[in-house]
Amino acid sequence: MRNRVFNPIGTVALVTGASSGLGAGYARELAQRGADLVLTARRQERLEGLAVELAEKYGTVSTVIPLDLAAPGGVAELVNDLHSRDITIGTLVNNAGFATSGDLVDADPARLAEEVSLNVAALTALTRALLPDLLHTSRAQPASAALVNLASTAAFQPVPGMAVYGATKAYVLSFTEALWYETRASGLKVTAICPGAVDTEFFEVAGRRPDSRRALLTVAEVMRTTFAALDRASTPPHAVSGLRNTVLAGVAGRLPHRAVVNAVGRMNRSGPTA
């Protein structure tokens, strides 16, 4: 059994976008490690089903709060609900997010605004609102508190054909690494997780089909990447999931920028769309 440095037992973890995919994966892993959960997403039935599963399997107490974080006032509503229940959050997993695809000129402006609101504005506001709780928990119970923000390998270069999504994930990566530095003396574990394509509902929502030439990561692989990072004595500011993705992310930072943009643009043009 691997050495588990990150031990959230006795604390409460909030997972956004918890109704499926990576969000449900994070909820299961955190419950298995002894944390109680706050589960939030739009689909109440899925959240309630997950809460029952976690209770039966791990004895976890889960608070289900269905809402849309991208909606005006969504973050404030969630934070007020937590305060009204006297819940202190020890770990925050900002997993909620989605992508749009296609050329910007053809995109629905309202959908783009929702994408930026969820991927950037809601993530930032929720992190700021709960950061005092995370820091308090990390000081009171060392190695029990974490901030995990879901970025992407799209964060390492512009992504023509998914321009807004790539830009939002570049923001998440930069934002998280800055917080990693700002909180470095607190004991809070802060990291941005950067998976490539994962076998979830992501592509259906984005209106694309995954490129059949590339193997998709599994949720389990992303969980291993995340918790290996959290289990390190010194958690890295970001972690890339998958060997191929790690290599490509490193290469993107070393090649001429124009060449990288051209290569990604050609790849997206040739990729299948739904």
Give 44's pLDDT tier (boundaries 50, 70, 90). very high
Residue 123 domain flag: yes
* Structural domain for 28, as ranges: 12-270
247-274 burial string, b = 16+ CB within 10 Å, else e? ebbeebeeeeeeebeeebeeebeebeee
Q: Taking residues 33-62, report their average pLDDT.
A: 97
Sign (positive/negative) of CA torsion 108, 114, 118, 124?
Answer: positive
Q: What's the mean per-residue pLDDT of the chain?
A: 89
pLDDT in tens, 119-133: 999 999 999 999 999
Decide if pLDDT at 188 tops 80.
yes
Q: Is residue 61 part of a domain?
A: yes
Per the domain annotation, does 157 fall within a domain? Answer: yes
143 domain-assigned: yes
| pLDDT over 90 (residue 248) | no
| 98 within some domain | yes
DSSP string, 216-232: PBPHHHHHHHHHHHHTS
In a domain, 55, yes or no: yes
Domain annotation covers residue 7? no
Contact 29, 223 (CB under 8 A): yes
- Residue 165 annotated in active site: yes
**pLDDT per residue as tens digits for the range 88-118:** 999 999 999 999 999 999 999 999 999 999 9
pTM, full prediction: 0.88
Q: Which of 26, 58, 165, 181 is catalytic?
A: 165
Inside any domain, residue 4: no
Q: What is the pLDDT of residue 272?
A: 38
Q: Calculate ∠ Cα 44-48-54, nearest 5°.
A: 145
The pLDDT score that the predictor gives to residue 213 is 47
Domain count, the chain: 1
Q: Identify the CATH number of the domain in which residue 230 sits.
A: 3.40.50.720
